[in-house]
Amino acid sequence: MANNKINHYCIICGKGYHACDSCMEIREFTPWRLLADKPSCFQIYMILDKYKKNLISKDEAREQLLHHDLREKDTYKESARKLVDEILDEPKKPRRKRPVVETVNTVIEATTAQNTELQNTDMNDCE
Q: Using CB under 5 A, list all residues that contact Zn ion.
A: 10, 12-13, 37, 41
Residue with smaller CB distance to Zn ion, 52 or 98: 52
Q: How far is the CB of 38 from Zn ion (least distance, A)?
A: 6
What 3-state DSSP class applies to 17? strand
Closest residue by Cα to residue 89 from 127, 58, 64:
58
Q: How far is CA 104 from CA 96, 110, 114, 115, in A?
A: 20, 10, 13, 12
Residue with smaller CB distance to Zn ion, 24 or 118: 24
Closest residue by Cα to residue 87 from 105, 64, 71:
64
Closest residue by Cα to residue 29 from 42, 16, 11:
42
Q: How far is the CB of 76 from Zn ion (least distance, A)?
A: 8
Q: How far is the CB of 4 from Zn ion (least distance, A)?
A: 17
Residue with smaller CB distance to Zn ion, 41 or 61: 41
Residue with smaller CB distance to Zn ion, 10 or 61: 10
